Structure formats: C-alpha cells, structure tokens
C-alpha cells in the first residue's frame, strides 16, 4: 500500500464533460489498496481524500454491493472512463463507453 500527496490532481463532480461543469475539488491524498500489484495491476483501486465535500447538488452516493454479491460471471457490464483507448491516444471530451463480459477470478 502507498499513500501519496497528489496536489496536482482534481476531481470534477456533477458533469460528464471533461473540462467544464460541475464542481472541481482538489485531491489532498491518494491511498492504494494494500494488495495492489504494479506488475499485474491486481487490486487496482484506491481512495482519494478531497479538500472539500461534494454535496448532493453535484452528485449522490451509491450503495456498494454486499460482500459475495455482484454481477454473475459472463454477465455483460457497461464500462466507461476518461482514459485513452489507445497508446498515446488523446482524451475524449465525454467519456466513451463500451460493453465487456464480467470475469470470475475466484
């Protein structure tokens, strides 16, 4: 696990357009999952400590599934994000989305 100062990062809540709308909040700290592996990217998840709260005007909390529940292996999932879709590709203004089957790694 690592904890890093990431003052150059911000979070935009309440907008699906990169660069405009919603509320922008600075990130104070990022913490990775204790089992994160840089070589395999297993447990590629973390938590961000923000400099201010994001209120319900911009977003809403969602419930996470209970332990042991979730999509079934093979179920089609919708994925989305602002990352590039190719090496050295450019970032999209709105997040592209696609479908992928769920894989069971247990």
Residue ranges per structural domain of the chain: 1-59, 70-106
pLDDT at 1 over 60: no
* More confidently predicted of 52 and 1: 52
60: which 2 tokens?
Answer: 């809403």
The string of pLDDT tens digits covering residues 39-85 is 888 888 889 999 999 887 878 888 887 887 888 888 999 888 777 77
Q: How far apart are the first and last CA of the chain?
A: 22
What is the model's pTM?
Answer: 0.65
Contact yes or no for 25/15 (Cβ under 8 A): no
29: which 2 tokens?
Answer: 């700290």
Q: Give the strand pairing for 3-5 and 10-13.
A: unpaired
Say which CATH topology domain 1-59 has: Thrombin, subunit H (2.40.10)
Query: Which pLDDT value is given to residue 27?
Result: 92
């Amino acid at each position: 696990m690592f904890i890093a100062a990431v003052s150059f990062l911000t979070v935009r809540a309440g907008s699906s357009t990169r660069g405009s709308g919603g509320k922008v909040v600075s990130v104070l700290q990022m913490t990775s999952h204790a089992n994160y592996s840089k070589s395999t990217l297993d447990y590629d998840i973390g938590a961000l400590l923000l400099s201010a709260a994001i209120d319900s005007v911009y977003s809403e909390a969602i419930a996470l599934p209970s332990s042991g529940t979730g999509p079934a292996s093979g179920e089609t999932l919708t994925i989305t994000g602002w990352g590039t879709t190719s090496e050295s590709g450019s970032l999209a203004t709105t997040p592209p989305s696609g479908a992928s089957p769920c894989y069971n790694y247990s």
